Amino acid sequence: MKQLMLGNAAVARGLYEAGCCVISSYPGTPSTEITEEGAKYDEIYCEWAPNEKVAMETAFGACLAGKRSFCGMKHVGLNVAADPLFTMSYTGVNAGLVIGVADDAGMHSSQNEQDSRHYAQAAKVPMLEPSDSAEARAFAKLAYELSEQFDTPVLLKMCTRVAHSQSLVECGERVEPEMKPYEKNIAKYVMMPGNAKKRHPVVEERTKKLQAWAETAEINRVEPGEDHKIGIITSSTSYQYVKEVCGDRFPVLKLGMAWPMPEQKIRDFAASVNVLTVVEELDGFIEDYCRSLGLALVGKDVFPCIDEFSQNLVAEKLGLPVHTGKALADAIPPRPPVMCAGCPHRGLFYTLNKNKCTVLGDIGCYTLGAVAPLSAMDMTLCMGGSISAIHGFNKARGEESEGKTVAVIGDSTFMHSGMTGLANIAYNQSNSTVIILDNSITGMTGHQQNPTTGYNIKGDPAGKIDLESLCRAMGFNRVRVVDPYDLKACDQAVKEELAAKEPSVIISRRPCALLKYVKHKAPLKVNTDKCIGCKSCMKIGCPAISIKEGKAHVDNTLCVGCGVCEQLCPVSAFESTGKEG
Ligand SMILES: Cc1ncc(C[n+]2csc(CCOP(=O)(O)OP(=O)(O)O)c2C)c(N)n1
């Protein structure tokens, strides 16, 4: 029976059916649901690792031990895990190893728009690229076959639209592959120069074999068309747009394998059409390969390498009729992201703004501290970047910046890649103040557990890292905890730690207001007789507060009674509604 399935859920289904036994991942939109769905299968051991490198190495260890394994991440996660990836390409695998990576053209939820296909080429590993949920399931299974047949990790590339769209999937049964025997093999698995030198030719040979496989593989298929004026090579979600706007008009070479590419198949296809056209999102990856074969084509000279495509964009560029309905951007009112009502990060950012701090930021819900009226963020680069950067900033600018510059980082991001930056401060001694925004969850990506929360992916009790002890053990004498709902305490902590003559850590601790176990106070209301319309309460950018007829107004469907606005009101106009939320 066919069922509607999210692309990421279909990947998880494919992993399950292929007999995958171990999944270790780090969350990141649009990849997260692969692992969340994988965790629903009892047959698979599933975990959130502290970061993508750890996840990939864990999956590698599991495959080395003899079980099919998987790790999943978003595109930038592959940067973090690139180090093991490039050498795993040399060692190859024991049982199959599949690495899921999800790109985010259009940057729906990302800090950049990189194209992961380059990693497959650079690390010399195969990459499969599904276009819908049925392929997501099938390619996940195929990836294990290729991994074991060619002795290689296999990349499975998703993108936002394939990962987050639903389409029909026919499920199958799980196979339970026998655990592969573990045999010590120093020449294959110990990558020191003498051994690695012998593995590199193996890798080059493997790419040739994979290329030969790609020539006849069904996943690289030619779909005939009536009009050979144009022939389109495409893949992933671009294939869907092409089919939607062209139907069967033009012949299409759909590449299910992004790397290596089938040289002869491409040459034959090019020879069968007048104008070869490559339709691909982001970089001209297929295009560059075709050009290296000496083929003339239409590609990035017409199709942009920026932002995601749409049916209309593809139609317009191919000179076909464009759908003239309302553009999506006009049909849907814009909803810029804001910190939620009751977000514990708000009080802290208000304090940083008030103290005119230079804030070296990081990635998480708290990145929204950059948005007006809080505007308390000077830099956001990549996960973990805040702590390393404050050290460099303070070393460069000296005492003047030490007294007013802070780094802010979330609990999950701190565990991901903040600790090593903190070690650098402790070791090379800059007088830096680091604020860990501990909301007891990985908020940004939808509430995943992490090593500081005390729970595992299934919500069962797990190890819990004590942030205060960790920072002290690293050599910080000044470690203090504040409640970000308490503006006076935040102000005092920030002022004192910035004035201190040694490095310090402030842990701003309060669980995310959206966590199920968090009890809310009664929403507040405004006593309009008292309100003088000074708008002091608007300085925190709370979505529950607006101005109506010159007076503050609280939307009690949003307000969680955190009381931060109350602390700013000079005339005590906020009152409790008394109705517990
Ligand atoms: C290398 C990398 N991996 C994953 C992500 C996706 N991501 C963005 S922020 C974030 C974690 C946020 O959690 P936390 O630091 O606890 O802050 P919160 O959102 O809870 O405030 C993740 C996983 C990313 N941007 N970069």
Q: Is the pLDDT of residue 165 over 60?
A: yes
CATH, residue 496: 3.40.50.970
514 lies in a domain?
no
Cβ-contact 213, 256 below 8 angstroms:
no
Please give the share of the chain, as a percent, with pLDDT higher than 90. Answer: 96
Q: Is the pLDDT of residue 446 over 80?
A: yes
Last residue of a domain, one of 453, 486, 509: 509
Q: What would the two tokens of residue 72 be? A: 């999943």
Q: To test ligand 1's pocket by mutation, which of 78, 383, 386 has the most ligand atoms within 8 angstroms of CB? A: 383
99 lies in a domain?
yes
517 lies in a domain?
no
Q: How many residues does the chain have?
A: 581
Query: Which residue's CA is the closest to the ligand 1 atom numbered 21?
Result: 365
328 lies in a domain?
no
Give the per-residue pLDDT at 197: 98
How do residues 288-340 score in pLDDT, each as one tens digit?
A: 999 999 999 999 999 999 999 999 999 999 999 998 888 777 888 888 889 99
How do residues 127-140 score in pLDDT, each as one tens digit?
A: 999 999 999 999 99
How do residues 486-520 score in pLDDT, each as one tens digit?
A: 999 999 999 999 999 999 999 999 999 999 999 99
**Same domain for 288 and 305?**
yes
User: Phi and psi of 45, rounded to 5°?
Assistant: -75, 125
Q: What would the two tokens of residue 5 be? A: 């399935």
Cβ-contact 8, 136 below 8 angstroms:
yes
CATH, residue 528: 3.30.70.20
205 lies in a domain?
yes
Answer yes or no: is the C-beta of 28 below 6 A from any ligand 1 atom: yes
Q: What would the two tokens of residue 218 be? A: 């069904």
Rg (CA), the chain: 27
Using CA atoms of 539, 540, 543, 546 in order, give the dihedral in degrees to the nearest 10: -30
Identity at 153, one-letter amino acid code: P
Write the DSSP string, 405-430: EEEEEEHHHIIIIIHHHHHHHHHHT-
How far CA 155 is from CA of 49, 118, 130, 215, 368, in Å, comes to: 19, 11, 11, 19, 32
Range of the domain at 380: 345-509
Query: Which residue's CA is the closest to the ligand 1 atom numbered 9?
Result: 364
Count up the domains in the chain and report the number: 4
Cβ-contact 41, 12 below 8 angstroms:
yes
Average pLDDT over residues 43-69: 98
**Same domain for 288 and 236?**
yes
Answer yes or no: is the C-beta of 467 below 6 A from any ligand 1 atom: no
**Same domain for 9 and 93?**
yes
Q: To test ligand 1's pocket by mutation, which of 444, 448, 450, 465 has the most ligand atoms within 8 angstroms of CB? A: 444
Q: Is the pLDDT of residue 435 over 90?
A: yes
How do residues 83-120 score in pLDDT, each as one tens digit?
A: 999 999 999 999 999 999 999 999 999 999 999 999 99
Q: Is the pLDDT of residue 581 over 60?
A: no
Average pLDDT of the chain, as a whole number: 97
Give the per-residue pLDDT at 580: 62
Query: Which residue's CA is the closest to the ligand 1 atom numbered 6?
Result: 28
43 lies in a domain?
yes
Answer yes or no: is the C-beta of 453 below 6 A from any ligand 1 atom: no
What is this structure's pTM? 0.97
**Same domain for 369 and 439?**
yes
User: How far is Cα 336 from Cα 346, in angstroms, rounded to an integer?
Assistant: 17
Answer yes or no: is the C-beta of 342 below 6 A from any ligand 1 atom: no
Average pLDDT over residues 157-182: 97
**Same domain for 55 and 203?**
yes
581 lies in a domain?
no
Q: What would the two tokens of residue 192 be? A: 């020191």
Please give the share of the chain, as a percent, with pLDDT higher than 70. Answer: 100
**Same domain for 417 and 450?**
yes
Answer yes or no: is the C-beta of 106 below 6 A from any ligand 1 atom: no
How do residues 260-280 score in pLDDT, each as one tens digit?
A: 999 999 999 999 999 999 999
